[in-house]
Amino acid sequence: MASIPLNECCYRLNHLDKSWDIETYMANGGYEVWKKVLAGELTPQEIIDEVKASNIRGRGGAGFPTGLKWSFMNRYAPGPKYILCNSDEGEPGTFKDRDILRYNPHQLVEGMMIAGYVIGANTGYNYIRGEFWEPYKRFDQAVQQAYEAGLLGKNILGSGWDFDLYTHLGAGAYICGEETALIESIEGKKGQPRFKPPFPASFGLYGRPTTINNTETLASIPMILAKGGKWFADLGVPGAGGTKIFSVSGHVEKPGNYEIRMGTPFKDLLALAGGVWKGRKLKAVIPGGSSTAVLPAEKALEMNMDYDSIAKAGSFLGAGSVIIMDETTDMVKALDRLTWFYYEESCGQCTPCREGTGWMHRVVHRIYTGKGRPEDIDMLKDVSGKIMGRVICGLGDAAAIPVASFLEHFEHEFRHYIEHGCSIYDRA
Amino acid sequence: MIKIEINGQIVEAHEGDMLIDVADEAKIPIPRFCYHKKLSIAANCRMCLVEVEGAPKALPACATPVTDGMKVHTRSPKARAAQKAVMEFLLINHPLDCPICDQGGECELQDVAFEYGNDVGKYSEAKRVVPDHDVGPLIATDMTRCIHCTRCVRFGQEISGLMELGAVGRSEWMEITTYVGKSITSEISGNIIDLCPVGALTSKPFRFKARAWEMVAHPSIAAHDSLGSHIEVHTYQDKVMRVVPRDNEAINETWLSDRDRFAYEGINSQDRLTVPLAKSKGQWDEQEWEDALNQTVELLKPHLNNPDTVGVLVSPNATVEELYLLRKLLHAHGVKDIETRLRQIDFRLDEAAGKPVAPGLVNTLPEIEAMESVLLVGSNLRYEIPLLNLRVRKAQLEGARVRVLNVADYPFTFDLEDKVIADPQALVDTLKVLVRAAAELKGTEIPAGAEDAVVSEQHQAWAKDLVESGKATIMVGAMAQQSPLYADFVLWSARLADLTGATINVVPQSANEVGAYQVGAVPANGGNIDSMLASDKKAWIVVGIDPELDTVYGARLKQALDQADTVISLTAYDSEYLRSVSDIMLPIAVHTETAGTFVNATGDWQSFKIASAAPGDAKPLWKILRVLGNLLDMDGFDYVHADEVLEEAKAQTQSLGSVQGDLAIPARTCDKPVVLGEWSLYSVDPIVRRSEPLQKAAGAARPVVRSAIEADEIVLNTPAGPITLPNEYDESVAPGVVLVPMGLSETADVTLTDVSVAAS
Ligand SMILES: Cc1cc2nc3c(=O)[nH]c(=O)nc-3n(C[C@H](O)[C@H](O)[C@H](O)COP(=O)(O)O)c2cc1C
Ligand code: SF4
Ligand code: FES
């Protein structure tokens, strides 16, 4: 394995002492872009063009091109507009944004300032996962430092531009990571996705035009503008520019976050993480967070870590949360846990998801506890198929995909449970 | 207009209309639960999924705007599969307890399941059970049946303006519930019974009483406020089982107030008088109708020689036919004192106009909803006319500025732009200031009486808004109408309207208040209830009221009835009080038991037919009057149908004065503390008062005085001596104002023309 370049963008300062301090950040080129922007040296249109050229796709899971998203906003439309940062980081397997908040919060602050400037928003909110108390304090401290340095507030550096940034702590619901549920939650309502259209760009927070981006997306912006869109694009592959943070967890020797270039072979990422633990063999990989389809080892080992390659393998890059399962993994038990998660976290609003997630979990759990029936496999396929594509937001599909993919690749393990009341690894 | 194709059929539509509306218009069925034409789009039930060519997924018709050339399939395999899937999900946790569910037979879930569901369920796990909460006397909950469509929640947020229901919990544990332990208090809460597509929210009083298919539905008109909401009276074996709204965009839309919905329980009250009763030697005897009517004529005849000594007090909820025949019968004998204005104490307007000046809405309800600026004068509109309040709320939500002049800071269901809370005199003075401000703005002469007014910036803003809004109205409510300064309120409001171009709506309160004026059930001789009580009446006829409760003349009226030689009561209810003062009591039918007509607040004559049977021997009043006419040997009392009476009444309406700013009235002042009567939602008429569920509901009256006086009790002087009432210290009441709950036995002696605070 050739040496793999690491931490070129969002984590570039993480190795430094007190990397979260404004002094460290400014000593390393921090807020220079923001100052250029305020001085009029970079126009909103130039920024959008540069972001488009960087080929960055949203890091929150859907992979929507960020430059295009920003261009939906009319900067000059009268009235308030908002920039929101999604630091809810609820997807099982994902823990990359936490380390941005903890170790490089200023780069996110700068990214939000710039994004707000581009879309014409004078107010930003960073919505942080409820359990992230320490990251929340770090980020909020960074915001205070930026205010003290005169980089936030009214008439910033005499530019005539105002920007206020608020930190908002969530209360522990996965669904609040869905962008419109997040908006409802900031508004003080029950976190429930809105039906779209209208999209946030026309009817967002408090009914006003709003752009919402993931933490990693926004934290990448200052680097894209400092080094140029082309620099970023060239780090990656044609379908997706830049670096990407992969949170590797599960059965590896060195679980953790790895910021690597898009298109890096999965094998190399696995090696970075110390390989499968205990010298065991790889059985399966969930490449993009629990909502993406599980892949058997053969397929995973052939893919590279970018959208197109993972899609070709039959899954999705999602939020870049790589869950490694070794050869002893009981796939029925794994799915039992996953279905429980979605059953717990469905917002309850729309019928197929509210009723279907519980149904799927109960059947999987029945199989897992040795009470499965032969018809359960077809029933699971049927129920997951009936949820998909018939719900308001992505959670319903996210709940159905694991069920469908586990059965696609590991149906025999479920059959074994149904026939023998135990896993293929148990000596029955 | 654009064209789209649904199931191969070309349908015209407006760009951007929702697919479900376009399909409804074309009568192409699409199943739905969460969608409701009066509520915002939630798109959460997913029942309305249809196939749209070009779209990868099935789309919810309720939330999909149509575009030109769109091709839609509502019954294609893809659409069917989606619909069946959703139906299956909806049923897995539904209890399927249809045999014991009140919604059975009119359940949207049942209907849709019949068409789109499977015959066998595949789900074999334990079903969800949701605990019920007691949400009050009107609505029964069976939340295990809830399908989470959130119609009820959206109703509170969007229509009633009281967010009393919400969803808590996630996933399967999501529950529709009230705020921790609270009950539902909205004055229009019953509408969620209609909205709920399943049997989760049902009518508590109607619970387990009858099946939907056993009942007969009679179109009718609601009788407990002046709107004349369109209703359906559902009867089982000729008895009223429940009342539900009928759609009528011009009046009640699809809604109904709780008062009009649940009052029927009073119709079925045990207190109904079912046989004619006559008193002889202090004993009450049941009578045959023939005897009773003969006795009535005998009692009445001597007094008809002195017609000025006969007074008639009638419910303003009596029908046009009834009121007209009363007038015809009595005017022919020279009896002119027929009065329906039982709660008015200031009649200076009539004196100035030389004829009765009737209240009325000059704007239609859709016009009120479109107002840009509204000034409410002396009105707790929410409790007076709940559905008129809804229209003002709609206007406010669309940006209208609503300002109020009130004696108490009533909780409205919309945001007020500004308010002045003061005693009646101060409110009238404020109106004068507004008149002056408007005159200054318009550069016209300052009307006499407003010369001394001192205009502030606040007043200027109020006047300016009325002047500049293209659509502005001043609405004068019950509190103003029943105050000692009614004439001042109306005149100054009218002057303000003249100057600003706003309309003036004096809000009628009772079902046939406007009709009573038109057919002459207000004295034509310049008299009124006050003057009637001041003159020495020897005989009283009381019709359709509880005399001790339905007027604001309390002890004064009671004394008059006591002192009279003869009291003839035509009443739907037996009561101790009526027995104590009457000589004869004739049982009459209520509005659902007779054919009749009400003239509503906007002047619409709305006729209805018999819906239910009167109990026992009770008879429609118009028929009783017809026989009395014959017994008195009068011509023209040979009607066969109520229609004939109506035709005649219509042709003989009386000439009325109109609300005008140029009338001159004698000045009156109103000393503080001023005692004002307050009619709670459910004390307004004899039927409502006897509806048990309403009496248990949040809007029922309590025998407590409200004032900003720090005292536990307040003693009021009445003509029958002082009475002591508990006082609730309430800062929302203007200083110098004491609000007394009317329509209660505890306050029956309170006489608003002769009341003062003795001590506190
Ligand atoms: C159920 C659900 C949960 C989600 N959770 C997150 C989250 O925790 N963080 C996040 O950034 N995006 C999350 N998303 C994606 C957001 O809706 C949204 O697409 C994203 O924040 C947009 O940012 P991006 O364009 O920068 O990726 C979630 C989506 C769904 C459907
Ligand atoms: S109670 Fe009825 S109206 Fe309310 S959400 Fe449930 S099913 Fe819908
Ligand atoms: S009616 Fe369309 S989703 Fe409920």
pLDDT, mean of residues B682-704? 96
Query: Which fold is adopted by the domain B277-343+513-652?
Result: Rossmann fold (3.40.50)
For chain A, the C-alpha Rg in angstroms (whole number) is: 22
- B65 C-alpha to center of ligand 3: Å? 13
pLDDT per residue as tens digits for the range B396-431: 999 999 999 999 999 999 999 999 999 999 999 999
Residue A366, helix vs strand vs coil: helix
Q: B60–A358: do the CB atoms touch at under 8 Å?
A: no
Q: A355–B90: do the CB atoms touch at under 8 Å?
A: yes
- Which residues, 6+ apart, have CB-to-CB distance to B580 below 8 Å? none
Interface of B with A in 107-136 (CB under 8 A): 122-123, 125
Is B63 in the A-facing interface, judged by CB distances under 8 Å?
yes
What gap in Å lies between CA B756 and CA B738, rounded to an integer?
Answer: 10
pLDDT per residue as tens digits for the range B478-516: 999 999 999 999 999 999 999 999 999 999 999 999 999
At residue B659, the pLDDT reads: 86
- A121 C-alpha to center of ligand 1: Å? 20
At residue B660, the pLDDT reads: 85
- Backbone phi, then psi, for B711, in 5-degree steps? -155, 150
At residue B456, the pLDDT reads: 94
Count other Cβ atoms within 10 Å, centred on residue B83. Answer: 25
Residue B456, helix vs strand vs coil: coil
- B142 C-alpha to center of ligand 2: Å? 10
Q: A344–B174: do the CB atoms touch at under 8 Å?
A: no
- A339 C-alpha to center of ligand 1: Å? 19
The residue among B172, B168, B184, B122 whose CA lies nearest residue B147 is B172
pLDDT at A346 over 90: yes
pLDDT at B335 over 80: yes
**Range list of H helices, A228-350:** 229-235, 266-272, 297-302, 307-313, 331-345
**Ligand 3 cavity residues, CB under 6 Å:** B 32-35, 43, 45-48, 60, 62
Residue B517 CB-half CA count within 13 A: 22
Tell me, yes or no, if the pTM score tops 0.90. yes
Of B43, B47, B173, the CB nearest to A392: B43
Per DSSP, which regions of B98-145 are E strands?
139-141
pLDDT at B591 over 70: yes
Helix axes B424-442, B486-500, angle to 10 degrees: 20
- Which residues, 6+ apart, have CB-to-CB distance to B174 below 8 Å? A347, A348, A349, A354, B148, B167, B168
Q: CA of A346: which chain B residue's CA is closest?
A: B171
Q: Which secondary-structure segment (H or E) carries B686?
A: helix B686-689
pLDDT at B733 over 80: yes
Quick one: which atom of ligand 2 is closest to the CA of B143? 1
What gap in Å lies between CA B299 and CA B504, rounded to an integer?
Answer: 45
Q: Which residues in B lie closer than 8 A to residue A357 (C-beta atoms)?
A: 171-172
CATH of domain B674-759: 2.40.40
Is A396 in the B-facing interface, judged by CB distances under 8 Å?
no
Q: Per-residue confidence at A2, pLDDT binned at 50, 70, 90? A: low
The answer, yes or no, to whether any atom of ligand 2 lies below 6 A from the CB of B151, is: yes
Mutate to test the interface with B, among A180, A190, A351 (most CBs of B within 10 A): A351
Count other Cβ atoms within 10 Å, centred on residue B69. Answer: 11
Q: A348–B86: do the CB atoms touch at under 8 Å?
A: no
pLDDT per residue as tens digits for the range A12-35: 999 999 999 999 999 999 999 999
Q: Per-residue confidence at B658, pLDDT binned at 50, 70, 90? A: confident
Q: Per-residue confidence at A409, pLDDT binned at 50, 70, 90? A: very high
What gap in Å lies between CA B536 and CA B309, rounded to an integer?
Answer: 6
Of B45, B58, B171, the CB nearest to A348: B171
In CATH, A331-420 is 1.20.1440.230: yes
Q: A190–B167: do the CB atoms touch at under 8 Å?
A: yes
Q: Which residues in A lie closer than 8 A to residue B163 (C-beta atoms)?
A: none
- Which residues, 6+ apart, have CB-to-CB distance to A189 below 8 Å? none
Separation in Å, CA of B507 to nearest CA in chain A: 36
- B688 C-alpha to center of ligand 2: Å? 28
pLDDT at B760 over 80: no
Q: CA of B59: which chain A residue's CA is closest?
A: A390
pLDDT, mean of residues A280-303? 97
Q: A195–B170: do the CB atoms touch at under 8 Å?
A: no
Is A362 in the B-facing interface, judged by CB distances under 8 Å?
yes
Of B47, B92, B169, the CB nearest to A348: B169
The ipTM, to two decimals, is: 0.94
The residue among B46, B167, B64 whose CA lies nearest residue B112 is B46
Query: Which fold is adopted by the domain B360-506?
Result: Dimethylsulfoxide Reductase; domain 2 (3.40.228)
pLDDT at A417 over 90: yes
At residue B339, the pLDDT reads: 98
Strands B737-741 and B705-707: antiparallel
Q: CATH number of B1-92: 3.50.50.60, 3.40.30.10, 3.10.20.740, 3.30.980.10?
A: 3.10.20.740
Q: B44–A392: do the CB atoms touch at under 8 Å?
A: yes
pLDDT per residue as tens digits for the range B549-585: 999 999 999 999 999 999 999 999 999 999 999 999 9
B523 vs A2, residue with greater confidence = B523
CATH of domain A243-326: 3.10.20.600
What residue's CA is closest to ligand 1, atom 12? A60
Interface of A with B in 142-201 (CB under 8 A): 173, 175, 190, 195, 197
- B287 C-alpha to center of ligand 1: Å? 81
Mean pLDDT is lowest, of A103-112, B27-36, B113-122, B129-138, for B113-122
In CATH, A22-235 is 3.40.190.10: no
For chains A and B, what is the number of CB pairs under 8 angstroms? 96
pLDDT at B6 over 90: yes
Going by the DSSP 8-state scheme, the letter that residue A292 receives in this structure is S
Q: A390–B63: do the CB atoms touch at under 8 Å?
A: no
Q: Per-residue confidence at A427, pLDDT binned at 50, 70, 90? A: low
Q: Which residues in B lie closer than 8 A to residue A343 (C-beta atoms)?
A: 171-172
What gap in Å lies between CA B284 and CA B429, rounded to an integer?
Answer: 53
The answer, yes or no, to whether any atom of ligand 2 lies below 6 A from the CB of B152, is: yes
Q: A390–B171: do the CB atoms touch at under 8 Å?
A: no
pLDDT at A1 over 60: no
Separation in Å, CA of A166 to nearest CA in chain B: 27
Compute the mean pLDDT over every residue in chain B, rounded to the nearest whole number: 96
- Say if residues B149 and B197 touch (Cβ distance below 8 Å): yes
At residue A158, the pLDDT reads: 96
Q: B88–A386: do the CB atoms touch at under 8 Å?
A: yes
pLDDT at A428 over 60: no
pLDDT per residue as tens digits for the range A254-287: 999 999 999 999 999 999 999 999 999 999 999 9
The answer, yes or no, to whether any atom of ligand 1 lies below 6 A from the CB of A64, is: yes
Per DSSP, which regions of A143-204 are E strands?
164-169
Q: Where are the domains of chain A?
A: 22-235, 243-326, 331-420
Residue B86, helix vs strand vs coil: helix
Q: What are B160's two structure tokens?
A: 């009633």
Question: Which ligand ends up closest to the CA of B40?
Answer: 3
- Say if residues A241 and A228 touch (Cβ distance below 8 Å): no
- Which residues, 6+ apart, have CB-to-CB distance to A158 below 8 Å? none
Per DSSP, which regions of B222-345 are E strands?
230-236, 239-245, 277-280, 283-286, 310-314, 338-339
Q: Which residues in A lie closer than 8 A to residue B169 (C-beta atoms)?
A: 348
Q: Where are the domains of chain B?
A: 1-92, 277-343+513-652, 360-506, 674-759
pLDDT per residue as tens digits for the range B169-212: 999 999 999 987 789 999 999 999 999 999 999 999 999 999 99
Separation in Å, CA of A311 to nearest CA in chain B: 18
- Percent of chain B exceeding pLDDT 70 equals 100
pLDDT per residue as tens digits for the range B235-284: 999 999 999 999 999 999 999 999 999 999 999 999 999 999 999 988 99
Ligand 2 pocket test, candidate residues B147, B172, B191, B202, most atoms within 8 A of CB: B147
Mutate to test the interface with B, among A355, A357, A373, A387 (most CBs of B within 10 A): A355
Q: B93–A355: do the CB atoms touch at under 8 Å?
A: yes
